[in-house]
A and B are shown apart, each in its own frame.
Chain A
Amino acid sequence: MLKLEHISKTYGNKNEKAVDDVSFEVYPGEIFGFVGPNGAGKTTTIKMIVSLLAPNSGKITINGIDNQNDILAAKKQFSYVPDSPELFEKIKGIEYLKFMADVYQVPAVERQERIEKYLDIFEIKDAVNDPIGSFSHGMKQKLALVGALIHDPQVFILDEPMVGLDPKASFELKKIMRDHCDRGRSVFFSTHVLDVAEKICDRIAIIKKGKIIEVGTMAEIREKAGSQESLENIFLELTE
């Protein structure tokens, strides 16, 4: 569903690579977690997947489409919610949602159904006619999530989705992610919350200083580390 092959990225003319020869694959029906310390290169990797940055080398395919050959077709395959979504402050929530539905060409009935559903789940129905500038941080994030779910993407890509959400919302989000994968689609997200990664991810990749140091299911990673410890301990050892 999502495949990265030997992706590298250097910012400007810095010496060290922010992302260094990263390869992994996310399969259909899978929740894939991307963990690593601050500055490891998670956000940079995600930005290259969602066509916000060009890699220096390597290839990314999304649902079989090379995102450097056919950017537009690749863009239709995913939706993306950044770590702290900066949205147009002067635009009303509902206007933003209409915009998203229009650019993904979602038919009238489906956009209405989905938006009603997710507005209910995230409890922002009452605020939807207000300018986004008046939203709290968490509300902005919820709105961005609703906008990202409008076109029911093949791959749902999230950067640090749990940060800033209240317990109820992050519970609902986890349910939505699971639901999404049960319908044969995929979820790819980065996180610092190792408990979450451990509980809901089918597979995990650990990145450190731009390099992938582990990929696999929880069991595989445990086996390699030779311990029955929690992900947290393994993570601390690996990234030491």
Chain B
Amino acid sequence: MKEVVNLTKLFINESLGLSLFFYNQKFNRKEFYKQLFTLIIVPVALIPAFFMYVSLMSATYFGLTMINQTSVFLSIGYIMATVLIIVFGVMYILSEFYFSDNIEELIPLPISQRKLIVAKFLSILVFEYIFAAFIFGPILIIYGVGQGMGLLYVLLSFLVFLTIPVLPLSLMTALIMLMMQSASLKGRKDMLQIVFVFIGLVVIFGVQIWFTSQLGNGDEVDFQLLMNTMLTNNEGFLNIIGYIMPTSFLMAWTLNKITLMSFAWVGALLGITLLSGALMVAIGERVYLKSIVSGKTIKKGKQLSGAQRNKALGKKSHGAMAVFTMDLRLLLRTPVYFFNNISVVIIAPLCILLSVSFIEIPPEDLQGMQDFFRAMPLLINYLLIAFFIFFGGTSATTATTFSREGKASWLTRMIPVTARDQIVGRTGVAMLIQSLGIVFTIISIQFIFPLTLSTLLVTVILGILGSLPILLFGLFMDMNRPLLNWDNPQKAIKNNMNVVITLFVGMAYTGLLIGVCGLLGYFINPLLGYGMFMMISVAISVVFYKVINNRLEAEFLNFES
């Protein structure tokens, strides 16, 4: 037991980088204050979001009181928490169990496989409990207060809360372990991870679509109909949720009305949870280390002849091109990077396409939309621009560009490549990804209504130009504080505050810019708005370019100290 606790502490320490944090406190004050600052600023930045979430949930609760449907409130929250835990958990499970280097050091030690699995699982669980506290905690409290529940509710809801992350996580872990086992047999761990995550997303997405179409009783999603279903069929909604996640019944029966039976239900819930944990451990003991050991095989390339080698070496190409190619290859070939930086440009347009094909728009409505669009091109244009900037800003490609290289970044800093080539090459990769997103989006929008040529031109140009300041800001952040000391590529992105900061700053900036230019365009002249947009974007980009260009070489000297 003590060994498991120690191992868990070790894993948590590792994933947070606590040792380095306390080392810096003693020996590297500057770094320490930087880390401390981000430790404080991120929770502070999240407070408004949390506040909004709580208000939204309270509003939902009161809405449900009106239609006498409070009994579904907890179930909605339960499903939501579970889905979120699964979505965020997948990457954590994969990275803790399969992409963390510590396992190679631990295998030779005399620690039983079971203890390793339990400790790794617990180290993920700790974070998921914190997450669940913020997501499900408010829901339990709102319901409890709203219904005037007593002490028993507190006790029972605490027990329910304990089970929340365990069940989905352990089932997910078991599933991943089984998939990794079959993947490692084929020696293609990397690609499989991508495929797996995509399948997971498609399934979740599919369930959601199916869910909405169930409610609507047909092709047409009609709000009136939805309300009717809910009002006339008391248990209908609850049942639908229950089909997706059967344990939500147990949860609802336990907490919706406190009776003696509640104790039996909560007991059953705890039992099922423990069983799922045991199942995960049992499966893990059969497959985990075996697939780790065999999964380390890397697929080799063909042997090359002299002529082929010379062809691969090619002619002299430009420094910016060399940086661009290297950055792109790393992005495409490292699953975690691919998933975080590239998949969004495929998934987002796909979502548009899917939602269009599932929701049937009557022809007269479509006509109405198109008329509206013709009357209000400005609105559509700026909406599209915002969407296009979204691909640039959210992918955080430039905000992690140096961090992604990790311990191999010495090479980047040692070679004689000009700052200009570094900026062009690395920003170029981000712009390529963004352009892909733009192309996919335009294609999928064509299915709803054809865009005019002027809209196409304006949105593509301004979308790319408008995201340039954000891309360069990301590069600026990563130049100043890269995260290089990781043992698992997941951390280069997930533990990287540059991503969060760039995202927040980028969204605020985009909102402001589009707001101002949109109003200018609406009240004075559309061309004036677009012109202003272009000028501001170009001006800020030039400033950032100059700053990075001047500072990059000097900052490279600070990466290690």
Contact = CB atoms under 8 A, between A and B. Distances in A.
Contacts of B14: none
Contacts of B34: none
A159 to B, nearest CB: 11
Contact of B416 (A54, A76, A97, A101): A76
A5 interface: no
B312 A94 contact: yes
A47 B186 CA distance: 42
Contacts of A12: 24, 27-31, 561
Given A12-B24, A90-B334, A52 B309 contact: no
B408 A86 contact: yes
Contact of B405 (A47, A88, A104): A88
B69 interface: no
B313 A112 contact: yes
A102 B316 contact: yes
Give the most central of A11, A14, A52, A130: most B CB within 10 Å.
Answer: A52
B313 A94 contact: yes
Interface in B313-351: 313-319, 321-323, 325-326, 329-330, 333-334
Contacts of B28: 11-13
Contacts, number: 136
A128 B316 CA distance: 19
A75 B415 contact: yes
A106 B418 CA distance: 16
Contact of B333 (A90, A97, A105): A90
A47 B560 contact: yes
Interface in A82-109: 82, 86-92, 94-95, 97-108
Contacts of B410: 52, 82, 86
Range, interface on chain B: 35 or more
A131 interface: yes
A138 interface: no
Contacts of B309: 94, 112, 115-116, 128
Contacts of A102: 316-319, 321-322
Given A102-B317, A116-B309, A54 B300 contact: no
A75 B557 CA distance: 13
B316 A106 contact: yes
Interface string B423-463: 00000000000000000000000000000000000000000
B302 interface: yes
B298 interface: yes
Given A52-B557, A91-B329, A98 B314 contact: yes
A57 interface: no
Give the most central of A99, A102, A108, A130: most B CB within 10 Å.
Answer: A102
A163 interface: no
Interface string A115-127: 1100000000011
Nearest to B301: A129
A142 interface: no
Contacts of B303: 126, 129
Contact of B414 (A75, A89, A116, A131): A75
Interface string A10-38: 01111000000000000000000000000
A44 to B, nearest CB: 10
A165 to B, nearest CB: 20
B313 A108 contact: yes
A51 interface: yes
Contacts of B559: 52
B285 interface: no
A113 to B, nearest CB: 10
Contacts of B317: 102
B558 interface: yes
Give the most central of B29, B304, B306, B557: most A CB within 10 Å.
Answer: B557
Nearest to A134: B298
A177 to B, nearest CB: 19
Contacts of A94: 304, 309, 312-313
Nearest to A144: B411
Given A86-B408, A88-B405, A54 B561 contact: yes
A53 B557 contact: yes
Nearest to B317: A102
Given A99-B322, A102-B321, A103-B319, A87 B329 contact: no
Contacts of A99: 322, 325-326
A92 B189 CA distance: 17
A22 B413 CA distance: 23
B330 A128 contact: no
Nearest to B416: A75
A211 interface: no
Contact of A90 (B323, B330, B554): B330
A-B pairs, top 7 by smallest CB distance, nearest first, are A12-B28, A129-B301, A75-B416, A90-B333, A102-B322, A54-B557, A134-B298
Given A52-B559, A102-B316, 17 more contacts: A12-B24, A51-B414, A52-B413, A54-B554, A54-B557, A75-B415, A82-B410, A87-B408, A90-B330, A92-B301, A99-B322, A99-B326, A107-B316, A108-B313, A116-B306, A116-B309, A131-B300
